[in-house]
């Protein structure tokens, strides 16, 4: 099983290495948008895009030291 995973990982790295830096950024942004949409739709009821983004930002900040600036930005 790990042999298949290793092969897939190697192929993915090779494909990413062939991309131009701008293409990598575009891919990263597209994947982020896809993941946000998946999270948004997985909620019951589905959240609005802005609310889903705010929920994820809050979850990332929960284990961190409180910051008044970030609290004001993300509510």
- Per-domain residue ranges of the chain: 2-74
The answer, as to whether pTM is greater than 0.75, is no
Query: Which residues lie closer than 8 Å to 54 by C-beta, 6 or more apart?
Result: 74, 75
Q: Scanning the structure block, which residue is given the tokens 């597209």?
A: 30
Mean predicted confidence (pLDDT) in 34-47: 96
Average pLDDT, the chain: 90
Segment 25-40 shows an average pLDDT of 96
Q: For the chain, what percent of residues have pLDDT higher than 90?
A: 72
pLDDT tens for each residue of 2-14:
899 999 999 999 9
Distance CA 8, CA 26 (A): 22
Angle at 43 between CA 40 and CA 46, to 5 degrees: 65
């Amino acid at each position: 099983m790990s042999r298949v995973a290793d092969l897939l990982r190697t192929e993915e790295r090779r494909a990413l290495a062939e991309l131009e830096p701008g293409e990598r950024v575009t891919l990263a942004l597209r994947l982020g948008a896809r993941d946000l949409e998946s999270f948004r739709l997985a909620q019951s009821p589905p959240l609005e895009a802005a609310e889903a983004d705010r929920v994820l930002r809050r979850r990332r900040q929960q284990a961190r030291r409180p910051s008044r600036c970030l609290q004001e930005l993300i509510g």
